[in-house]
Amino acid sequence: MISSSEITFIIPCYNESHRLDVTRRKLGDLYAIHPDQPGIIFVNDGSTDDTESRLHDLCEHLQTLSPGIPFRTISYPNNKGKGWALYQGIQQCETPWCITLDADLATGPEEWRYWNEKGWIGEEDNKVYIGSREKGIQHRIVRYSWFRRSIGLAFNRLVRMYTRMPFDDTQCGFKCYPTAIARAAFENLNDYSFAHDVEVLMNIHHNHIPIVSLPVHWNETAGSKVNVFRDGFQMFRTIRGLRSKS
C-alpha cells in the first residue's frame, strides 16, 4: 500500500473557471471527510480567465480543512498544453509518488484509496499504474456516453496499431507514477498537448518498466477541452510520428 504522505496529486488547469465551483465542492467534501488525503499541486497552464486567482482561493479553502497538508498553485503566462502542465507539476513534486488527474475530477482523487484497498498498488514496486475506463466498464463503475466511448475506442485502435502497446486506455487522466520515473518519461516530449499520454507511456514501456492498467470510477462531465476534429487530427499526426519509436 502507498500512504497519503507519499503521494502528491497534480491537476492541470486551463480556463477552468466555469467549473471550479464543482471542483471546489468535490474536493471540499473529500478533504472534510478525509483530511489526511495527499497534497495537491494545481498547475495553471496560461489561463486567460480568472482560473489562477480561483485556484489560490481553493488552496486556501482546502488548507482550512487539512491544515497539515500542502496545497499550492503553479502558474506561467502562456498556454503550453496539458502535458507541459503536468511536467511542471511533476518537477515540483517532493513526494516519492505522484498521481495525475483531470480538473473535472471525472475520476476523483479518492480513487487511490480504492486501488489501495483492493491491494492493487504497492509502495515497494517500480511500476506505473494507469486508469482504464474500459476496465471500469467491466466492473460497472464507469458512466460513459456511446459517442465518447466510440471515439476513445477508435483512437485506442490507432495507438495499438502504431505503437504496439497493449493498453486498452491510454487517455484516462488518472495515472500513478513513481515520481522519478515520471520526471524522466515527461522530459523532452515531441508533443505536450493532449496526445502526450501516448509518448509518456511509450517512454516508460521502452525502458521495460511495468505498466499496470486498473479499473477506475469515471463519470463523464461536460466542457471537455478536446475538440474531436481539431485535436483528433493533431493526435493522429503525433501518434503516426511516434511509430519509429515503437
pLDDT in the model for residue 74: 98
Contacts of 140 (CB under 8 A, 6+ apart): none
Find the CATH number of the domain harbouring 201: 3.90.550.10
The DSSP call for residue 129 is E
* Gap between the Cα atoms of 243 and 236, Å rounded: 11
Q: Are 216 and 174 in contact (CB under 8 A)?
A: yes
Q: What's the pLDDT band for 20 if we cut at 50, 70, 90?
A: very high
Q: What is the pLDDT of residues 36-75, one digit of tens each?
A: 999 999 999 999 999 999 999 999 999 999 999 999 999 9
Per the structure block, which three cell numbers stand in for 236?
Answer: 493522429
Number of domains forming the structure of the chain: 1
Using CA atoms, how far residue 10 sits from 2, 94, 184, in Å, is 16, 12, 16
Whether residue 245 is predicted with pLDDT greater than 90 in this model: the reply is no
Q: Are 148 and 232 in contact (CB under 8 A)?
A: no
Q: What's the pLDDT band for 157 if we cut at 50, 70, 90?
A: confident
Task: Tell me the pTM.
Answer: 0.88
Q: What's the pLDDT band for 149 if we cut at 50, 70, 90?
A: confident
* Gap between the Cα atoms of 212 and 200, Å rounded: 14
Boundaries of domain holding 73: 4-245
The predicted model gives 150-178 an average pLDDT of 85
Q: What's the pLDDT band for 29 if we cut at 50, 70, 90?
A: very high
